[in-house]
Amino acid sequence: MELLRPSSLEELDGGLLLHGGTEVVPLLREGLLETERLVDVRGVVPRGVDGAVIGAGTTLAELEVEPAIPDALREACRLAASPQLRSMGSLGGNLLQATRCWYWRLGYDCRLHGGDRCHARDGEHREHAIFANEFCASAHPSDVAAALVALGARVRTNQRELAVEELYRLPDEGNRSTTTLESGELLLEIELPPAGASVYLKAMDRKRWAFPQVGVAVARHEDGSPRIALAGVAPIPWRIEGVDDLDAATPLPRTEWKVPLARALVRRALAALA
Amino acid sequence: MARLIRTEKEVEGRFEEVWIVVEEDPLEQWPEGPLEVVGRPAPRKDGPERVRGEARYTADLRLPGMLQAAVLRSPHAHAKVRRIDLAPALALPGVRAAIGPGEAHGLEEEAGFAGAAVAAVAADTFAQARAAVKAIDVEWEELEVVLDPDDAVKREQLTAEPRTYERGDVDKAFADADVVVEGTYRTQTVLHNSMETHQAICEWQGDTLHVYISTQFIWGIRQAVAQTLDLPEDKVRVVCEFMGGGFGSKNGPDEYTFVAAELAKRTGRPVRCALTRREENTSAGNRNATIQRLRAGARGDGTIVAFEGEFRNSVGWSGWNASTEGPMRMLYDCENVRSVTYGAKLNTPPMKAFRAPGFVEGTFGLECLVDELAAKLDVDPLELRRRNYAASNEGTPFSSKNLEDCYRMAEPHWERRHEVRSRSDAVWKRGVGMASQIWYGGGGPPSYAWVRLGSDGRATVITAMQDIGTGTRTAMAQIAAEELGIPLEHVDVALGDSARGPYASISAGSSTLPSMGPAVRAAAADAREQVEDIAEQRGLPADTPLQEIVAVLEESQILGKGARGPNPTGMSVLTFGVHVVEVAVDVETGEVNVERVAAIHDVGRIVNPLGASSQVEGGVIQGIGHTLSEERLLDPESGRILTTSLDSYRMPTIADVPEIICEFVDRPDEHLTNLGSKGLGEPPIVPIAAAIANAIRDATGAEVHELPISREEMLRALREAEERAREKEKRGAPAAV
């Protein structure tokens, strides 16, 4: 395997991109990703905070102590992973991390891997989705993604500019991907629109170093309306308009417990901004 | 003088009758309380070495020419190898040897669980070995899979005959009882997940096999390897200088040792076989899941008159049927007890001993049930425990039991419950719970130690024991220093090599200190007596410091030897304790915070209060993981293990650790050896789960019946409690007008 370290975007030419490596390296080790060419993009992805623009190469550890970013984002960074992982993991990498579904991680021939069944639906799914879980019951693990969706952030890639929300799509029969990313596309910057107060609340099964059972991000926007996004409840970050939308959840037998949990956290987050 | 006795030997709650030669134990116990060195806090002698990374663990060893092995494991929970072809593996670069089913002990044609070892490869690098394992061509015949313990019991698919126990007249006692409570409790499968994965390096030198291994029992490895490979025991040398955790899972050699030995034989090179973290999660043992259907009956005055329990242990493909019923039989003075314990044989990884096996699970059920009884009787839980205090172990006297002192010491912690509850608000409910502990931990013979004393007045304790990370070196040095009357810094401990010292006990069943400590003291006393002889011959006054007496010896050395004496006959040697736990529960989100744990234990004399506190803290933290977050999950269809990494198998982090207060009765057991100490490795993990569950009930009224107390279980129990309260209100409300 060769490792490339390009210093400009022009040098990019295929291969598997990695930044902090906290996601890509374990996936390589498990054989879930394979490549002959590994491209370390730390030399080409912007890093640091400049006003409302955050380099996608900024680490979570840098963001968790950054006073100039909204509370929801800072808190989502602080509550993610462990100090070691946050020191290495980048904002862009965090947005693109794959599901923690154990079937997917163990290489089961599940729908996300191109197979014809969701093993979690019939099997062990206590950590899985309560929304949009018909085709694939995986739950999106990114705290940061939920925060950015709630904040209405936009992302600039080497090919286009789009809302963070548009970065994600539900997998379906024809396309198993959970992102809209094109081949060779690379996240460069995140831009935050002006927003009022924001908050991120996270339920974990231990105090630290756990993916969200349910994560709730709420941001108050210029018109005064709150915008809510959830982590850990659907295959992608999930928008709801209000707590009543949780009545429409379609939990699996062992994910029913997430519904009252999400309800409590959404109420709490809205109250915190009231 | 040595004498031959037939005695009952206990390890991890399992008994066997053995013949052993024991030596008399003529030394009088030291007086109670802190002495010069013993009973005073001592930092670990090997602490700096460990934190600087200088301590050499088995995982650190790299022998010249060493090859790396990888193991092919069954992807199926139950399958048979119909055909296997190792040739594609042997053709790959770096591969030196490959072996299949039957070619090393533990490599088998029939795989009874996903993760069972089938074949193995040795190569120059681990990556090459792993690639070669993937290239092995296997044709599997899949067999029927049984994963459900109730299903296994129904089919009578058991690991052994069900174990039954009965005393008194249980049916009559229940019929006459004023109050009866019953409940079904479930505990999950949890993993040891030792920091240092299971591993061995084997090297043949002539006809001697050198085994470097991460183990809790050097001499057990020596014996098992010699027996299996048909070698004289002296032709097997076992080395373990430092080891990174075992918790009961490293008592025997297992397949990785035999794989390394066979591949080393075939290649003429040292071979390392080390489990990966994934393998550690699938193939290194577990604390088996249990289902406990329990019933208790009491008179109105709080006298418990009957216990009944049906226990189903999910043993797995092999393993033993741990004493989940033990606490029910032993903890309380109850005349009528009946139990049956099934060991379900399943297509799941075999259980292994895990820090008080059986008693951890059984204490959760029993001590939750006793609190439910207390609630129904409207008796204070501490008072109920005192009223049913067992004065003997089913008629056999205890060598010592100071549980009443534990209860007395628990009072100030228990008294805090009013103040703790008063700090509850609409969201966070606070409460206090308790649970008692009973377990073994007396150790036993045989165990030997030598003490070598030089003319510089420094001593070395020599014994071929292992230090499994519990502070063994420090405690042994303290005992020798005390007996010799020299400073702790002047004592070294040489251990970890079967070729360099006498036989020593297993470090399991909380037996290291009570087995080895008395032997070390006896050896030091033997040396001290020789020093006193010399002083007398030199006409020195009796209080002359040792260093002065031996100063004239030049190259001469004083060699003391000592042995562990027998356990008291006709007595039960057991450990006791009580935990008082404070929790806060977020009743909207089901989050549980364990805020404070007071752990009070009665384990005889405390040799190193600092080391003892560390043991208790470790047990409490591991117990919090067992109680709140850890669970090994299986795919219910295939039986494959789903939680195979440290992010999916969730052990507590330092952020999950509450304030832990450790207290000890610290009274020597006057009947137990020259030391009066029992073991403390296991006791602190025994009561914590029930104490947390009882605190949750105190805080919220919710009855949790399942471990782990996940948010799912907590929210279920809260909802149930709410419904119960609503029902009660409805019934109690005045008729509508």
Interval B137-154: pLDDT, tens: 999 999 999 999 999 999
Q: Summarize pLDDT for B621-645 with one digit per residue, the tens.
A: 999 999 999 999 999 999 999 999 9
Q: Residue B737's pLDDT is what? A: 45
Beta bridge partners of B493: B461
Strand, coil or helix: B237: strand
Position B46 pLDDT exceeds 50 = yes
A209 close to B (CB below 8 A): yes
B711 close to A (CB below 8 A): yes
Position B73 pLDDT exceeds 80 = yes
Q: Residue B97: what residue type?
A: A
List the single residue in B with minimal CA-CA distance to A201: B589
Distance from CA of B391 to the nearest CA of A (A): 40
Q: Summarize pLDDT for B528-572 with one digit per residue, the tens.
A: 999 999 999 999 998 899 999 999 899 999 999 999 999 999 999
Interchain contact, B637 vs A257, CB within 8 Å: no
Would you call the peptide bond into B708 cis, given omega within 30 degrees of 0 as the criterion?
yes
- Are the CB atoms for B571 and B401 separated by under 8 Å? no
Interchain contact, A210 vs B650, CB within 8 Å: yes
Cα–Cα distance, B564 to B25 (Å, whole number)? 7
Percent of the residues in chain B that have a pLDDT greater than 90, as a whole number: 94
For residue B735, name the pLDDT band (cuts at 50, 70, 90).
low
Q: Summarize pLDDT for B648-704 with one digit per residue, the tens.
A: 999 999 999 999 999 999 999 999 999 999 999 999 999 999 999 999 999 999 999
Cα distance from N-terminal residue to C-terminal residue, chain B: 89
Residue among A82, A205, A257 whose CB faces B629 most closely = A205
CATH topology of domain B2-57+445-563: Aldehyde Oxidoreductase; domain 4 (3.30.365)
Distance from CA of B627 to the nearest CA of A (A): 11
Cα distance from N-terminal residue to C-terminal residue, chain A: 54
Cα–Cα distance, B42 to B40 (Å, whole number)? 6
Cα–Cα distance, B634 to A123 (Å, whole number)? 9
**A209: chain B residues, CB-CB within 8 Å:** 647, 653
Averaged pLDDT for residues A73-81 = 98
Residue among B588, B642, B650 whose CB faces A205 most closely = B650
CA atoms within 13 A on the CB side of A91: 31
Averaged pLDDT for residues A181-185 = 92
If residue B374 lies in a helix (H) or strand (E), which one and from where to where?
helix B359-377
B648 close to A (CB below 8 A): yes
Cα–Cα distance, A148 to B563 (Å, whole number)? 68
Q: Residue B121: what residue type?
A: V
Distance from CA of B667 to the nearest CA of A (A): 37
CATH topology of domain B391-442+568-737: Aldehyde Oxidoreductase; domain 4 (3.30.365)
- Are the CB atoms for B694 and B367 separated by under 8 Å? yes
List the single residue in A with minimal CA-CA distance to B717: A257
Q: Does domain A1-44 have CATH number 3.30.43?
A: yes
B652 close to A (CB below 8 A): yes
Distance from CA of A93 to the nearest CA of B (A): 18
Give the residue from B591, B594, B714 with the most A CB atoms within 10 Å of its CB, the best one to mutate: B591
Interchain contact, B642 vs A124, CB within 8 Å: yes
**How many CB atoms lie under 10 A from the CB of residue B553?**
16
Interchain contact, A257 vs B656, CB within 8 Å: no
Helix %, strand %, coil % of chain B (to 5): 30, 25, 40
Domain ranges of chain B: 2-57+445-563, 61-144+195-245+250-283, 146-194+284-385, 391-442+568-737
List the single residue in A with minimal CA-CA distance to B712: A257
Position A65 pLDDT exceeds 50 = yes
Residue among B628, B642, B710 whose CB faces A102 most closely = B642
If residue B513 lies in a helix (H) or strand (E), which one and from where to where?
helix B512-538
Distance from CA of A245 to the nearest CA of B (A): 18
B647 close to A (CB below 8 A): yes
A271 close to B (CB below 8 A): no
Q: Which two tokens stand for residue A189?
A: 């910057």
**B633: chain A residues, CB-CB within 8 Å:** 102, 124, 126
Q: Summarize pLDDT for B367-410 with one digit per residue, the tens.
A: 999 999 999 999 999 999 999 999 999 899 999 999 999 999 99
Q: What sign for the dihedral angle of Cα A119, A123, A129, A132? A: positive
**Any idea which of A110-114, B262-266, B566-570 has the lowest mean pLDDT?**
B566-570
Residue among B648, B656, B712 whose CB faces A257 most closely = B712
Provide the residue count of chain B.
737
Q: How confident is the prediction for chain B on average, in pLDDT?
A: 96
CA atoms within 13 A on the CB side of B324: 32
If residue B382 lies in a helix (H) or strand (E), which one and from where to where?
helix B381-387
Distance from CA of B375 to the nearest CA of A (A): 28
Interchain contact, B712 vs A126, CB within 8 Å: yes
CATH 3.30.43 spans which residues of chain A?
1-44
Question: What does residue B423 show for φ and ψ, rounded to 5 degrees?
Answer: -85, 5
Strand, coil or helix: B262: helix
B303 close to A (CB below 8 A): no
Going by the DSSP 8-state scheme, the letter that residue A216 receives in this structure is: E
Q: Residue B3's pLDDT is what? A: 80
If residue B634 lies in a helix (H) or strand (E), which one and from where to where?
none
Interchain contact, A102 vs B643, CB within 8 Å: yes
Strand A187-191 with A238-240, pairing: unpaired
Cα–Cα distance, B21 to B256 (Å, whole number)? 33
- Give me the residues of A, 179-208, that contact B with CB < 8 A: 203, 205-208
A29 close to B (CB below 8 A): no
Interchain contact, A261 vs B635, CB within 8 Å: no
Interchain contact, B635 vs A103, CB within 8 Å: yes
Arch. (CATH architecture) of A46-273: 2-Layer Sandwich (3.30)
How many residue pairs from chains A and B have C-beta atoms closer than 8 A?
70
Question: What does residue B565 show for φ and ψ, rounded to 5 degrees?
Answer: -75, 180
Q: In whole angstroms, how far apart are CA B211 and each of B214, B256, B264?
A: 10, 11, 11
Q: How confident is the prediction for chain A on average, in pLDDT?
A: 97
Q: Does domain B61-144+195-245+250-283 have CATH number 3.40.50.720?
A: no
Q: Summarize pLDDT for A226-254 with one digit per residue, the tens.
A: 999 999 999 999 999 999 999 999 999 99
Interchain contact, B650 vs A105, CB within 8 Å: no
**How many CB atoms lie under 10 A from the CB of residue B178?**
14
Residue among B589, B628, B644 whose CB faces A261 most closely = B589
For residue B12, name the pLDDT band (cuts at 50, 70, 90).
confident
Position B519 pLDDT exceeds 60 = yes
Strand, coil or helix: A118: coil
CATH topology of domain B146-194+284-385: Aldehyde Oxidoreductase; domain 4 (3.30.365)
pTM of the model: 0.97
CATH 3.30.465.10 spans which residues of chain A?
46-273
A109 close to B (CB below 8 A): no
**B281: chain A residues, CB-CB within 8 Å:** none
A265 close to B (CB below 8 A): yes
Strand, coil or helix: B336: strand
Position B290 pLDDT exceeds 90 = yes
Q: In what order do the strands lie in the sheet with A37-40?
A: A2-4, A37-40, A16-18
Interchain contact, B591 vs A126, CB within 8 Å: no
**A102: chain B residues, CB-CB within 8 Å:** 633, 642-643, 648
